[in-house]
Structure 1
Amino acid sequence: MAEDPTWIDILWFVPWWQRGGDGWFDLIYPAFNLAEATCWMVCAGFVLYRWWRSGRSRWLEPGYAAALVTFGVTDLLESQSISGWLVAAKIGNALLLWWLRRRTLALFPGARLL
């Protein structure tokens, strides 16, 4: 007989939502996450193009692009299931993106896109 999951298991490892239902949410939510992941990947491409064109930073813009790609990957994972570790990873990545964006915008005064 399997053990009942502990609160740590429920908080971190047991999926809070998993794809596979028949309702409208199970159709819309994964599609939204896939579209969102695509947007993050395109934004990462724009950042890398800007870095390649201007070369104003050695590591900042490639790091920013990598964080955008990582955020897109978490959206791909989220399109299948949501669990505590994924939410924590997304929060950490969002905070990293916020910090990197502030640092990147300091290199490009007047530019507010991406």
Structure 2
Amino acid sequence: MKHVEVNYSVACDVFMFLKNYLNIHGMPSPGRHFKELSMPIVFLPTSYNYASVYRDYVQASKDKYGNDVRIITESTFTNVWKALLPSLQFMSPKLDLCETCEMMKMDIQYITQHEKN
């Protein structure tokens, strides 16, 4: 069995993948506790899970490096994710919004991102 060592390069690759992933699929948290110093949480829709994001990571790695690339396991991917980007979480079903509300939320996110530039 071939093992992949998680070094700086691998961790950086996972981090960059997740940053790009949250920019594409993430939705900002609807609220924060401003009394506490906390980082803003970005949610992925309820239809996503660690396995589906990992599959996208595997496909992106194969597209980038070819089919001969050695890829970390799903559990290692999840551990690196939790260590480097704990603010990227999955939306719970009770926070999930209807499609219209999600589209409005994404429009707001898009506008605020372009106002910063």
> Normalising by structure 1, what TM-score?
0.29
> Normalising by structure 2, what TM-score?
0.29
Q: Which protein is richer in helix relative to its size? A: 1
Larger radius of gyration, structure 1 or 2?
Answer: 1
